[in-house]
Amino acid sequence: MNTQRLLIVLTAINAGLLSYQLVQPRPGAAATADVPAVIRARALEIVDDRGKVRASLAVLPEDPKVKWKGRPYPETVLFRLMSPAGRPNVKLGASQLGAGLLIGGESDPTYVQVLAEGGETTVKLINKDGLERLIKP
């Protein structure tokens, strides 16, 4: 008989705990409901502890004053990652003409540039001494 009473008491405790879990508000669910599904903005900047911009994502409008291959510089989406000194070490851009990726080294002008514009692709390598190598298919 003692075993039966113990099982009844344990079952009642379990039922009580289950009821408490079902009724209890969930902080994780409330926090998730407050988070927007989409963030809409014209630009996004991420700053470090000193307030210096270290990453940016922006849509740059067409600029008729700046010429690119004889045409106005097109509207471009540009993503930049900057070094602590403020130098953009990574640039990724996309426009109607194509896309490009630039990865910069520690010293200027060390970088690798990959471009795909129209039907052409190029890879440009430049070292710290300014020696350049252009690779085309």
Tell whether 95 and 66 lie within a shared domain: yes
26 with 73, same domain?
no
In tens, the pLDDT along 10-49 reads: 788 877 777 777 777 666 555 556 777 888 888 999 999 9
pLDDT value at residue 15: 79
Q: Does residue 70 sit in the same domain as residue 18?
A: no
Establish whether the linkage from the previous residue to 88 is cis, with ω within 30° of 0.
Answer: no
Q: What is the pLDDT of residues 68-89, one digit of tens each?
A: 778 888 999 999 999 988 888 9
Q: What pTM did the predictor assign?
A: 0.69
Domain span holding position 119: 43-135
| Torsion angle defined by CA atoms of residues 123, 126, 127 and 131, in that order, rounded to the nearest 10 degrees | 120
Between the alpha carbon of residue 103 and those of residues 41, 80, 117, 134, the distances in Å are: 26, 10, 18, 15
Q: Is 100 in contact with 93 (CB distance < 8 Å)?
A: yes
Residue 38, amino acid: V
Same domain, 21 and 53: no
Same domain, 58 and 124: yes
